[in-house]
Amino acid sequence: MNILKVKTKHEMSCLAADIMAAQIIKKPDSVLGLATGETPIEMYDNVAKRNIDFSRVRTVNLDEYVGLDGANENSYRYFMDTNFFSKLNIKKENTNLPCGTATDLDAECARYNALLESIGPRDIQLLGIGLNGHVGFCEPNTEFVPNTSVVSLTESTIKANSRFYDDISLVPKQALTMGIRQIMDAKHILLIANGPAKVEIVEKAFYGKITPAVPASVLQLHPNVTVIVAEN
Ligand code: GLP
C-alpha cells in the first residue's frame, strides 16, 4: 500500500487526476471504477479539462441510492453525468451504474454482478471513504459482503450524506452497492481522502486491524493500492 500524504485537497485532486489520466493515455480502452461524494469532484474536473480521448473508455460506478432515478439531482447517475461524463467524449452506453429504481432489486444486483463479470477487472478503481470506514456503500458489517447487494445505510452515513439534502428525512435509507470482492478485483485501487474529519478513519483503516467493521481495512490485502490523503 502506497500512502501519499499531501497538504491540500487541490494537491490531492491533481495527483489523483494525473494517475487517472496516465491510465487512459497508457490504455485508451481502460475500464474505470468510479466513485461519488464531495472528495472526487475537483479530480473529475481536472481530468475533464485535459481533453483526453474517452471514446473507448468504459466505466462502472460503485453504487446508487434505492428509489432515485437519474433525473433526481441527488442520484449518483445525475452526479456522474453532471460532474464528469457530460464534460467528456465518453459514450453514455459505456457508463454504468446500478439502477436505483429497478422494481426487482435482487434482479438488479444480479444484472450488475453479470455486468462486472463480463466487463472484467477494472484497470483503476477510484474510492472515497466514509466516516465509518465504508467504501462504496459497503457499510460496517460482521462479514465482508462479496458481491453487489442492497444495503441499509447506517445512521452515520445518512447523517453525513444529509448535507446534500434539504432535510435528513429525504435521504434514502437503502442503496445498491458493489461488493468487497468486486472492489478488490480491480487491478489498481486509488483511494482519496481529505480534511481533518477523515484523519481518524484513514488511520484506523490503513494502520489498524483488518475487519469488516471497518470495510476499507480490507484494502490492506490488495497488492496495488494508492492512498492519497490531504490534510485540508
Ligand atoms: C458516499 C459514497 C462513497 C463516498 C462517501 C464519502 O457514502 N457512497 O462512495 O466515498 O460518500 O463521501 P465524501 O467524499 O463526500 O466524504
Mean pLDDT of the chain: 97
Q: Is 157 in the pocket of ligand 1 (CB under 6 A)?
A: yes
Q: Do the Cβ atoms of 195 and 9 come closer than 8 Å? A: yes
pTM, rounded to two decimals: 0.98
Predicted confidence (pLDDT) per residue in 168-203, tens digit: 999 999 999 999 999 999 999 999 999 999 999 999
Cα(6)–Cα(16) distance, rounded to whole angstroms?
11
Which residues lie closer than 8 Å to 44 by C-beta, 6 or more apart?
Answer: 83, 84, 87
Average pLDDT over residues 54-72: 98
Is 35 near ligand 1, meaning CB less than 6 Å away? yes
Residue with CA at minimum distance from ligand 1 atom 13: 37
How would you classify the pairing of strands 174-177 and 63-65? antiparallel
Nearest CA among 74, 20, 75 for reference residue 43: 20
Does residue 215's CB lie within 6 angstroms of at least one atom of ligand 1? no
Query: Measured in angstroms, how far is the CA atom of residue 128 from the centroid of ligand 1?
Result: 6
Which of 64, 77, 161 best tests ligand 1's pocket when mutated (most atoms within 8 Å of CB)?
161
CB-based burial, 33-54: b 16+ in 10 Å, e otherwise: bbbbbebbbbbbebbbeeebeb
Q: Distance, CA 75 to ligand 1 centroid (Å)?
A: 13
The set of catalytic residues is 63, 132, 134, 139
What is the reported pLDDT for 169?
94
13-38 pLDDT, tens digit per residue, is: 999 999 999 999 999 999 999 999 99
pLDDT of the residue at 220: 98
Ligand 1 neighbour 36 (Cβ under 6 A): yes
Pocket test for ligand 1, best of 131, 134, 174, 227 (most atoms within 8 A of CB): 134
